[in-house]
Amino acid sequence: MESFGTRLHRAMAERGPLAVGIDPHAALLDRWGLPDDVTGLARFSETVVEALGDRVAVVKPQSAFYERFGSRGLAVLESTIRQLREAGALVLLDVKRGDIGSTVSAYAAAYLDPSSPLYVDAITASPYLGVGSLAPMFDTAAAHGGGVFVLALTSNPEGPAVQHARGADGRTVAQTVIDEISQLNAGAEPLGSFGLVVGATIGDTGHDLSRVRGPLLAPGLGAQGASAADLRTVFGRDLSTVLPSYSREVLGHGPDRAALRAAADRALADCRAVLGTTVE
Which residues contribute to the site for ligand LLZGTKA7 (CB under 6 A)? Answer: 21, 23, 62, 94, 154-155, 197, 199, 219-220, 222-224, 246-249
Tell the smallest beta-carbon distance from residue 115 to ligand LLZGTKA7 (Å).
Answer: 27
Please spell the DSSP secondary structure of 243-262, one letter per residue. Answer: EEEESHHHHTT-S-HHHHHH
Q: Which of 96, 144, 164, 248 is catalytic?
A: 96
Q: Compute the distance between CA of residue 17 and CA of residue 9 in angstroms, rounded to an integer.
A: 9
Cβ pair 201, 155 in contact under 8 A: yes
Neighbours of 114 (CB within 10 A): 10
Nearer to ligand LLZGTKA7, 21 or 127 (CB): 21
Short-list 195, 166, 191, 192, CA closest to 178: 195
Nearer to ligand LLZGTKA7, 197 or 242 (CB): 197
Q: Compute the distance between CA of residue 280 and CA of residue 277 in angstroms, rounded to an integer.
A: 10
Nearer to ligand LLZGTKA7, 94 or 230 (CB): 94
Cβ pair 133, 108 in contact under 8 A: no
Short-list 157, 177, 174, CA closest to 165: 174
Q: Compute the distance between CA of residue 89 and CA of residue 207 in angstroms, rounded to an integer.
A: 31
Nearer to ligand LLZGTKA7, 21 or 254 (CB): 21
Tell the smallest beta-carbon distance from residue 71 to ligand LLZGTKA7 (Å).
Answer: 21
Taken in order 256, 261, 264, 266, is the CA torsion positive or negative? negative
Strand partners, 58: 19, 90
Tell the smallest beta-carbon distance from residue 276 to ligand LLZGTKA7 (Å).
Answer: 22
Nearer to ligand LLZGTKA7, 3 or 48 (CB): 48
96 is catalytic: yes
Q: Which residues are catalytic?
A: 96
